Copies of this chain bind each other. A is one copy, B any other.
Amino acid sequence: MANIKITPLNIELTASVDSNLMEFLTLNGINLKNNCGFRGSCKKCTVKLLSGNLNNDAHYIDNIYLACQSKISEDIEIELIEYSLDKAFKINKKFDFHSSLTCLQMEKININVLPPSKEDKTADFERVMALFPDYSIAGVEVLKKLPFALRENNWNISVIKDNFKKLIVDIDKPSDKQILGLAVDIGTTTVNIIITDLTNGKIIDSASSYNEQISFGTDVISRIIYSQREKGIETLKAAVVSTINKLIDDICQNNNLIPSNIYQAVFAGNTTMMHILLGIVPNFLRIEPYVPAFFNYSPVANEIGININKYASIYCYESFGSYVGGDISAGILASRMYKNDEISLLIDIGTNGEIVLGNADWLISCACSAGPAFEGAGVKNGSRAINGAIDSVKINNKSLEPEITVINKQKPIGICGSGMIDAIAELFKAGIIDRQGKFIKNSERIKDKSYILVNIGEIDSDKEIVISESDIQNIVRTKGAIFAGIYSLLEYAGITLDEISKIYVAGGLGESIDFKNAVAIGLFPDIDRNKYEYLGNTSLKGCYLRLINYKEEQDIKKISEIMNYFDISEDEEYMNRFISSLFIPHTDLSLFPNIFK
């Protein structure tokens, strides 16, 4: 690993040796100018090398280097010249990158063709395709536009091609129009999308909202039951398609983009969500022996109804079992845990809690029904980790008064996962609630078995924000399900906690998660807090990675090959473990020797 000191951001990141500098910066949320798809021809992605060495190929002038041509080989210090910071990905050290250059699947190039003549009467289509041997065209709509595009633009057109599938996806007049990519994480509760510029991998914008399917049930089981009604599957599919289309619309309107310029899309979600997206009844997921209709299938764009280009290239992440879905494949990719020789654990907390254990040789995954509490659903003043969410809480042991932080310092609107973890840990430490989560103290802050985090008028709030005893019960059930799942999986794999070198935590809990508190409430095992790392929405990040680098397909294939599925419903001990976990932190305190140290 090499340290990368970055001026003027005044941050230091760690990169794998052999990483490409441009790619490393981009994936850490730092965007440099780039017009040539990382090919080194536009010369816009310049950085100043302040100390250390970069490869000579990347050398441009004096101490200026082209980031896209630079390989990281040692500790360096660089100064950024022209850059922007990404809205979607906060700067973090969460990614380890391929050392290869990013391989963009979609490319837009301008071509000049010789016009036909008396001597050369080749048809328009064959005339253009002669420049692209091995390629075919995506469909008849492209062909329809061709004769006019050629003649109106003096036989000089722009061609959008899929370098991986070898397809001409569109043609157009030569223009600076962007070609866009879409990454979609379909959660049972929350849908997150990113739109990228496919010419350089840059994230243009991100958006998220609750999945409109919520009105048909909050968990996958109730969705599956609903899907069996007459027109049930069509209704559910329409709901998620509408959710995604509205998010696309939002981003496109805010950024002046055209949805039909989205030429590639990657989707990840749990097994049920992927079934519904394709309009396939997930019924048999809940009938013995619980098998999905499919693990791995990617439809063509015009069969799913998402408002993108008709011929866009679609990828859906593979599921591994009835309750370990494409969101987990994507998450494993984003975590890079399949590249480690040491064993690590990935815990993705969504409406289901999915847990993956393994290393470069093997992976085992399982899922447990956690519930959407940490995403803000089923909790009175719950919220997703968005602007205005209370994301950390401290409670003074004497005054019992709270001290909170709010994402982006906005007016508080609710409490997100990391805030809930803090609140319960602090309420417990302050002796306000007991091990069963019941209120056992009185104070001005406590009313109707609820602790008031924000009173009306405090921090400009126009509403009271509380955490109630029933919220706490709900959260305790969620954390109990996950904790029990972790132990069941470890036992199934015959792995002890000591053997785990890293625990990656994914999901929408919130960046400011306090792992000490998460252990204190019994959500996570009591091991060295430094082994924990919060990765955020790995499902979405996995979609993004697949969008910008078609070489990821090799890694995706590898993950699929080494993956095993552990069906927790077959584990007779799970229910006992779950019941033992319905306390703060647990009935068996010997599992938490370091909890209050």
A residues sitting closer than 8 Å to B (CB atoms) are 116-118, 121-127, 137, 139-141, 143-144, 146-148, 151, 278-281, 283-284, 289-297, 299-300, 303-304, 319, 321-322, 565, 567, 570
Contact = CB atoms under 8 A, between A and B. Distances in A.
Contacts of A137: 297
B143 A294 contact: yes
Contacts of A570: 118
B279 A118 contact: no
A146 B278 CA distance: 13
A146 B565 contact: no
Contacts of A122: 291, 295
A140 B291 contact: no
- For A127, A147, A299, A300, which residue has the most chain B Cβ atoms within 10 angstroms? A147
A284 B147 contact: yes
Contact of A279 (B140, B295, B304): B140
A280 B139 CA distance: 12
Nearest to A139: B303
B124 A291 contact: yes
A280 B147 contact: yes
A281 B152 CA distance: 15
Contacts of A290: 121
Nearest to A136: B297
A126 B281 CA distance: 16
A140 B299 contact: yes
Contacts of A295: 122-123, 125-126
Contact of A147 (B123, B148, B283, B319): B283
Contacts of A567: 121
B147 A116 contact: no
- For A284, A290, A296, A304, which residue has the most chain B Cβ atoms within 10 angstroms? A284
A144 B304 CA distance: 13
B289 A116 contact: yes
Contacts of A319: 123
A124 B294 contact: yes
Contacts of A297: 125, 137, 140, 143
13 contacts: A116-B289, A121-B291, A123-B295, A124-B294, A125-B297, A126-B296, A139-B299, A139-B300, A139-B303, A140-B279, A140-B297, A143-B297, A144-B278
A118 B566 CA distance: 11
B292 A123 contact: yes
Nearest to A277: B140
List of 3 A-B pairs having minimum Cβ-Cβ separation, nearest first? A125-B294, A123-B292, A116-B291
Contacts of A123: 291-295, 319
